[in-house]
Amino acid sequence: MAYSTHTELAALTGSALAQAVLEAIIAQSDREIDAKLRRAGITGADSADLKAVSLEYSIAGLLTRYRMDGTKPASLNIGAFAMSDNIDAAIDEHRKNGDAILEGIIKRNRSYRQVVRVVNRC
């Protein structure tokens, strides 16, 4: 089950990539979310929160795709015109935002087991 849709990702980013590409990026993001939830022992969480994490990770994935295929280089020079931006920082920021939301989900949904240990008993 996808936590977000290609339509939402395209609307947030203005991406014109094909639906199949956006869905693959979302699927990878959602697999990462599921893996982290499984490690934490979480089986159910709020779908709106998971959608937010999915979109943050997917935006980071989309920016990574743009960086890797040359669509969005770190800097561009055309004659006297020069432009640069820190795409790696943007990717990192979206991943951190997703991680923070996911950590909150895990903290809210984790059940703690208390163990009582009896000592000095004869």
pLDDT of residue 2: 87
17: nearest Cα among 87, 52, 66, 73: 66
Tell me: the pLDDT tens digits for 61-120?
999 999 888 787 676 677 887 766 788 888 999 999 999 999 999 988 876 655 667 777
The pLDDT of 38-57, averaged and rounded, is: 89
CB 73 within 8 A of CB 111: no
pTM attached to this predicted model:
0.81
Residue with tokens 């163990």: 115
Distance CA 90, CA 44 (A): 30
Spatial neighbors of 35 by CB under 8 A, at least 6 apart, are none
Count of positions (residues) in the chain: 122
Distance CA 76, CA 63 (A): 16
Question: How sure is the predictor about 47, in pLDDT bands with cuts at 50, 70 and 90?
Answer: confident
The pLDDT of 30-59, averaged and rounded, is: 91
